[in-house]
Amino acid sequence: MIGIDAISLYTPRYMLKLEELAKSRGIDPAKYTVGLGQFAMSIMPPAEDIVTMAASAALPLIKDRKPPSLLLFATESGVDHSKAAGIWVHKLLNLPSSCRVLEIKQACYSATGALQLAIPYVKANPTEEVLIIASDNARYGIGTAGEPTQGCGAAAFIVKANPHLIAIEEGSGLFTDHVMDFWRPNHLDTALVDGKYSARIYLTALEACWKEYAAKTGRSFEDHARFCYHLPFSKMAEKAHERLSKHANTHDLVAHSLLYTKEIGNSYSASLYFGLASLLENDKEDLSNKRIGLFSYGSGCVAEFFSGIVQPSYRKTLRQDAHQTLFSARKEISCPEYEAYFRECGNQNKEEFDPSECQTGAFRLAGIQKYIRDYQPLA
Ligand code: CAA
């Protein structure tokens, strides 16, 4: 039995309410809060990026446990074409030099890809543990249709034998196709997206994955106690669930997985794992020994439907107090303040960068000189 032992989440210290964004853009706030199902989005300040978020998410997980022998860093917001972002995290967390580090990319699917690669690795090395960190900054641009579906965050999780949180089952349904629904050329720091097409492809991929998963495992919709979907915005998951449930009234099976994303926004590769943590930390029902269906979608595209069994010890490993404190302590900023941070973060790939004063988590991007990024723990 192999799966996820614990999940730790991190998101930056600033947020923008979507009502405030809607007012500034001259749009009815209900379009964002009802139409997209989103209330707020975390805002990246200039002294944070995918590395600082990843290190802050993983820090509580690596305390008091044996170091991982493999660190897989899943992201589509890479900060270097060559060097894996995980190497900086490896340094910041003081991991041993015997730990292998790799960056994995396939849009929002990358953390699930990492998980599926980690499982046979643990099977072959049953005493070893894998640290997976999904960390992303969803940027579409000021005034674009994608703007209200931005956000940022990191989810770190440990994959091991006899996990305390959720054991991943064998048998999944996959869907890969060459589609241009969402992409980011190397020189751009914002994504390009064919928004409505991307939502259609997401649902096409879901149906194809489900069909293969159901055929392989012989399971039906009713064999699953809860569902977690990739969460570009919460309404997308509700539409996906409606499609899978054939419009039966089963909103309760997905509702708790949406709570964190409604406040944080899209965190791309991390978002399915924000959803899983949100479900396990907020659903009052005891989910021990229950099956969760999970759908991961990465534009471009690769998608997978798979499942896991919640372990009887799962509540002991949850970090809901830390997560909820972190989310509720974020500072609300105005739309002009968000725009200023957005523009300044656009300079994070310049030759020289000296971030303005801002709050961070346990680590910060101290500056960039000659394209060399300098990260520091908070004193
Ligand atoms: N009150 C209530 N609802 C309203 C409203 C109002 N006043 N005005 C509009 N709405 C509703 C609309 O009816 C619509 O709902 P339905 O889809 O159920 O009809 C919803 O609000 C959104 O309205 P629009 O479709 O008009 O919105 P838009 O065209 O401006 O943009 C979007 C929506 C396409 C999702 C855009 O935000 C976008 O491009 N986002 C980025 C791409 C994305 O997230 N794609 C998801 C699938 S791809 C993926 O999952 C990978 C990933 O992470 C990116």
Residue 185, classed as helix, strand or coil, is coil
pLDDT tens-digit map of 231-276:
999 999 999 999 999 878 889 999 999 999 999 999 999 999 999 9
pLDDT tens-digit map of 163-213:
999 999 999 999 999 999 999 999 999 999 999 999 999 999 999 999 999
| Mean pLDDT, residues 96-125 taken together | 98
Whole-prediction pTM value? 0.98
Identify the H or E element spanning 378: none
pLDDT tens-digit map of 68-77:
999 999 999 9
Q: What is the DSSP string of 327-354?
A: HHTPEE--HHHHHHHHHHHTTTTSSSB-
Q: Is 98 exposed, middle or buried (0-12, 13-18, 19+ CB in 10 A)?
A: exposed
Instruction: For residue 365, give the nearest of 76, 49, 86, 57 by alpha carbon.
Output: 49
Identify the H or E element spanning 72: strand 70-74
By annotation, the residues acting in catalysis are 76, 108, 230
Ligand 1 environment, Cβ below 6 A: 28, 30-31, 34-36, 108, 145-146, 148-149, 182, 193, 195-196, 198-199, 202, 230, 232-233, 236, 266, 268, 297, 299
197 CA distance to ligand 1 middle (Å): 11
Instruction: Round to the nearest angstrom and report the end-to-end CA distance of the chain.
Output: 41
